[in-house]
Structure 1
Amino acid sequence: MSTRPGLEDLTVFRIEVAEGVATVFMDRAPVNAQNGVFREEVMRVFDVLHDSDEVRAIVLTGAGKTFSAGADLRDRPDVTKRGAYPRHSRAVRGGFDCVMECAKPVIAAVNGAAIGAGCVLALVCDVVLVAEDAFMAMTEVDVGLAGGVKHVLRHFGQSDARMFLMTARRLHGPDLYRMNVASGCYPKAELLPAAQAMAREIAGKVPLAVEAAKRAFTLNEYMPLHEGYVYEQTQTAALAKTEDTKEALAAFAEKRKPVFKGR
């Protein structure tokens, strides 16, 4: 997969593909800190996977002991240069938006520290799974910066979000599971297999229907109930005409495993 067009020269990411699942490893030692190269590559990776028919679900995790320790503070924009911050901020958003906009569901397997931008990168995934000894932290208040509130509020309750951001506390796997931020909490050795098993489960569903569900989650987040449900119904009507939906219904009736073609 790493040799396919657009991904030949990756330096801080590794990709493995099996059974319809792409496992994406952030691999920038020692702590997978995010710099300009990291952001450029994460956008390329998720854009290519977006268009890869053989990939139906994605697992994102960190190589080594860390998920991602956040932004590389050695790569901050020069405040004396005009336009440096808008350009930097646009790149940072792009590194998160590519995950949210990827048509394929993305499962974060948080294997270690997920701090600042690393925490946000986990939170923009569709499903969050954590290791028992992993933790999330938003440390911006410790270093005089700000950011991440909106993404945190998508997963945390109001009081927990404020506590999390204003104290910069570390919240470990069991805490994140208790707060409903994570859908599962596992011993570290079991985390990646569990994430890949869930991804394979998703990959076995009707591909266009899964993509429609992800699209609906993204759009419906800010829609009123009525408009959101109307949108979903238009998706159902469109899916009903596709070959894969007809195959899924036929396979169900015939008690056999469906064969999907992505159309």
Structure 2
Amino acid sequence: MANRVTTRIEGATATIEFNNPDRRNALSFDLLHDLGAALSGLSSSSHVRVVILTGRGSDFCVDTDLAAPRETKTVRGESVADDTERFRQINAMLNHFHQMPQVTIAAIDGGCAGAGLSLALAADLRIASERSVFNTAFLTAGLPGDLGGIWFMSRLLGGALARDLYLMPRKVSATEALGLGLVGSVVPAAELQTTAQDTARRLACAAPLALRSMKQNLLQSSTTVLGDYLAAESERLVQCARSDDVREAAAAFLEKRPPVFTGR
């Protein structure tokens, strides 16, 4: 059986790819388990600074695989306890992806719906191809939502837009998604992966300590009160200000050359 999830590392960028193109990269419990394993291996790497999540073929991910064998479904329906435990594991993976120290990019082509949309929303940045189509889709399937999609979208777009898109599910084009702020940029499909890799390389050129600290600032900014945030932000700032990389940044500016950061 082909790997359900593939990972490749080039320089400081790791690319995780859903590998179920015949099913439009629909999710199963086994695929999500493999995704979690890939994320665990990458999050502890000090070398990898950026993680791209994408799908093989012409779709990013179109929710769960309704045709998957019963034992691999995210909800099997055998018992409440069994299904709850499966989602405890899935939610732990989702939280891990959202909070991993690396900057994450969702490179979205084609269909992006349901749980697939939730995964894209959990990323730090989203780049879409011009043929991408988004849909919350849960009410259409008789479900209230999963993988934190409503939580992420409410923070990204605001409660009013999140309510509109989840309570009134519909297809959202790439152009509309860009206008709403659902994605940060839209590019031709043929340029999607190149654009994602170029974006990752640009991020990877930043000072590693500052990049990771900024990721933590961004995460904490939406989950804590201002006083606690300011205290944590100041601690990270002081730590980075004492680093060799800050001195290198100043020297490079004065010498009119690109900085060479070491992460120290």
- TM-score under structure 2 length normalisation: 0.89
Contact in 2 for aligned 1:124/1:151 (Cα 8 Å)? yes
Partner amino acid, structure 2, of 1:118: G
Which residue matches 1:28?
20
- Asked if 1 retains the 8 angstrom alpha-carbon contact of 2:21 and 2:58, the reply is no
Instruction: Report how many residues are paired.
Output: 255
Q: Counterparts in 2 of 1:77-96, with a 5 A limit?
A: 77-96=75-94
Name the SS for the 2:27 alignment partner.
coil
Structure 1 gap ranges (5+):
1-8
Task: Give the match for residue 185 of structure 2.
Answer: 184
* CA deviation string 1:149-203 (max 9, x = no partner): 2122122233321121112111111011000111101111122211111111100
Deviates more, 1:182-191 or 1:29-38: 29-38
The residue aligned with 1:200 is 201
Q: Which runs of 5+ in 2 are unaligned?
A: none
SS, match of residue 46 in structure 1: helix
Could you tell me how far apart the structure 2 residues matched to 1:76 and 1:215 are?
30
Q: Which consecutive aligned stretches of 4+ in structure 1 deviate over 6 angstroms post-superposition? A: none
**Deviation of the 1:141 alpha carbon:** 0.6
RMSD of aligned residue pairs (Cα, Å) = 1.9
- Percent identical among aligned pairs is 26
Structure-2 residue corresponding to 1:221: 222
C-alpha separation in 2, matches of 1:172 and 1:60: 20
- Name the TM-score, length of structure 1 as normaliser: 0.90
Further displaced range: 186-195 or 237-246: 237-246
Cα distance in 1 for residues equivalent to 2:241 and 2:2: 39
Q: Which moved more, 1:247-256 or 1:20-29?
A: 247-256
SS of structure 2 residue aligned to 1:59: strand
Paired with 1:10 and 1:251, the residues of 2 have a C-alpha distance of 47
Contact map agreement 1:21 1:200 (CA 8 A) in 2: yes
Within the candidate set 39, 45, 52, 2:38 is matched to 45
1: CA distance between counterparts of 2:33 and 2:263?
28
| 1:13 and 2:14 are equivalent in the alignment | no
The answer to whether residue 110 in structure 2 is matched with residue 112 in structure 1 is yes
Question: How much does 1:82 deviate?
Answer: 4.5
Contact persistence 1:53–1:262 (CA under 8 A): no
